[in-house]
Amino acid sequence: MTKSIIAGATGLVGLNIVRELAAQKQPTIALVRRSIESLPDRTEILEIDFQQFLISGKLPTCKHLYLCLGTTIKTAGSRGAFRMVDFDYALGMAKKAREAGATGLSLVSSVGADARSRNFYLRTKGQLEVAIKSLGFSRINIYRPGLLRGKRSNSRSLEGAGQIVFGFIDPLLVGPLSNYRSIQADLLAHTMIDNADKGEGVNYFHFKQFNTK
């Protein structure tokens, strides 16, 4: 049985998860929208059209879903297109994984996520958290990172500038504000893998709970 499925396998966090699981020789399936060459040889690739897959597709039997889907409003082109990826596709894949027998789910959300937020981005992230908690997983790990640092395959100029700025700001963020510190994507990926089989119920992780060394 496939132990792990990664949705968003070509993104900054998802790709790091795929690489680490491959190094550990864990049976893994990476969900991708198009064939790519950057995934490890030992990783099984499932190429799908997300919209069509949510209508008629089925995932292989699995234990855990790493849900790392995400875009930006600028990249998506509109709020509606953004929500389709970050809420509709993400929730749909969570449902598919649960139907395939998954009992655990790890979600990359965002610091400040709140289903009642006035901020559209944070409200969408918070609403996804709420919806996923109703699906019946025995273990849900929700990660709320600040700015993600690392080299993306697709350049995001604002995030690149943000990484430079946060290099100076991070040491100033102490106490409750430490949740807003930036985090290296590979360290977040390692944290998610390390906690995948631990505990039950719904668990939230912020900067202080990340493996930062």
Q: pTM value? A: 0.90
Q: Within a 13 Å sphere around the CA of 31, how many CA atoms are in the beta-carbon half?
A: 27
What Å distances lie between residue 99 and 37, 63, 69, 79, 102, CA to CA? 30, 11, 19, 29, 7
Helix (H) or strand (E) holding 143: strand 139-143
| Residue whose C-alpha is closest to residue 179's, from 150, 153, 135, 147 | 147
Each residue's pLDDT tens digit, 10-66 = 899 999 999 999 999 888 999 998 877 777 877 899 999 999 999 999 999 999 999
pLDDT grade, residue 169 (50/70/90)? Answer: confident
Q: Which CATH class is domain 2-148+185-207?
A: alpha beta
| 3 state DSSP class of 169 | helix
Q: Note the pLDDT of residue 83.
A: 97
Q: Note the pLDDT of residue 164.
A: 54
What Å distances lie between residue 208 and 112, 141, 203, CA to CA? 15, 15, 14
Mean pLDDT of the chain: 89
Tokens of 202: 């719904």
Q: Note the pLDDT of residue 29.
A: 94
| 3 state DSSP class of 180 | helix
**Cα–Cα–Cα angle for 113, 131, 200, rounded to 5 degrees:** 85
How crowded is residue 10: how many other Cβ atoms within 10 Å of its Cβ? 20
Q: Note the pLDDT of residue 199.
A: 83
pLDDT grade, residue 154 (50/70/90)? Answer: low
Q: Note the pLDDT of residue 93.
A: 97
Q: Is the dihedral of CA 143, 51, 28, 14 positive or negative?
A: negative
How far apart are the C-alpha atoms of 100 and 58, rounded to whole Å? Answer: 7
| 3 state DSSP class of 18 | helix
What are the phi and psi torsion angles at 65 (to 5°)? -115, 125
